[in-house]
């Protein structure tokens, strides 16, 4: 029963909704965009200087009967974010779902980490979530509904040597998620996060990882890393009606990993 006492209709369908996915030209973002489109959403494919890859995602969605458009923007830049959201609203109408996926990662000993390393990580992995959320929330508040899904990482919870800026940024994403969830739940907006374990993407290429890294990452009950589509499934759940009672949660598709 719903809070109003009537039967609650829940569905994975996103028909009639529009989703904006940042960093959606490759990897996890690409998989999320395609899956949300399969569920019926119109999808805005955000990318940064990857027009050919973004076009492939748009075409894949259209070939399957969906609707998508690609918009290039640096989501770590406030002015660019405002232009991105304005263009999306003009092109596809209201935004119902925001997936903050754009991110970078760098492996470097802490004492070798430069100011620029730190600032770049914070801008791309954390500030972008702040900027994008701030840009879309007024519209969601006006309509009394909306969903924001933030991509964090299990390293934002567990930590990892040689990844200090990344761990700090992703921990910040988790804190921001919980704060926004509390502030905007009264407006009918759900804000949640996904904290995956290692995923087989170009950003974390299995071929380029050291044996020591692989030994740690494969030390899970499933003895493997995730595929992007497995993380996308969690994003679809959080975007759909099936997660209506999830607020400020951090879901961890990680194969059972508990090792820092």
Does residue 32 sit within a domain?
A: yes
The domain that holds 103 is classified in CATH as 3.40.50.720
Q: Are 21 and 95 in contact (CB under 8 A)?
A: no
Does residue 9 sit within a domain?
A: no
Strands 42-47 and 68-72, sheet pairing: parallel
Q: What is the pLDDT of residue 208?
A: 56
Does residue 34 sit within a domain?
A: yes
Question: pTM for the full model?
Answer: 0.91
Does residue 48 sit within a domain?
A: yes
68-72 β-sheet, strand order: 68-72, 42-47, 18-21, 97-100, 146-151, 189-194, 250-251
Q: What is the pLDDT of residue 2?
A: 45
Does residue 6 sit within a domain?
A: no
Which residues does the annotation mark as catalytic? 166
Q: What are the average pLDDT values for consecutive 10-residue runs of the chain, which has 260 residues?
A: 52 95 96 98 96 98 98 98 98 97 95 98 98 98 98 94 96 98 98 90 60 64 79 97 97 74
Tally of domains in the chain: 1
Domain of residue 212 covers 18-251
């Amino acid at each position: 029963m719903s809070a109003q006492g009537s039967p609650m209709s829940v569905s994975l369908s996103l028909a009639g909704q529009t989703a904006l996915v940042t960093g959606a030209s490759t990897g996890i973002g690409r998989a999320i965009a395609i899956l949300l489109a399969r569920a019926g959403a119109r999808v805005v494919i955000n990318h940064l200087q990857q027009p050919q890859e973004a076009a492939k995602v748009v075409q894949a969605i259209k070939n399957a009967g969906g609707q998508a458009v690609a918009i290039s923007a640096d989501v770590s830049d406030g002015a660019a974010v405002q232009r991105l959201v304005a263009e999306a609203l003009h092109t596809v109408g209201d935004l119902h779902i925001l997936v903050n996926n754009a991110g970078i990662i760098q492996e470097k000993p802490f004492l070798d980490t430069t100011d620029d390393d730190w600032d770049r990580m914070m801008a791309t992995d954390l500030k972008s979530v702040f900027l994008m959320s701030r840009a879309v929330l007024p519209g969601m508040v006006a309509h009394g509904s909306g969903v924001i899904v933030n991509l964090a990482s299990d390293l934002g919870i567990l930590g990892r040597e040689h990844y200090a800026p990344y761990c700090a940024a992703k921990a910040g994403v988790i804190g921001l998620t919980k704060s926004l969830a509390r502030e905007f739940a009264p407006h009918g907006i759900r804000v949640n996060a996904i904290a995956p374990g290692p995923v087989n993407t170009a950003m974390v290429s299995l071929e380029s990882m050291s044996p020591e890294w692989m030994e740690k990452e494969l030390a899970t009950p499933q003895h493997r890393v995730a595929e992007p589509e497995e993380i996308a499934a969690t994003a679809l759940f959080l975007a759909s009606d099936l997660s209506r009672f999830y607020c400020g949660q951090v879901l961890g598709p990680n194969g059972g990993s508990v090792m820092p």
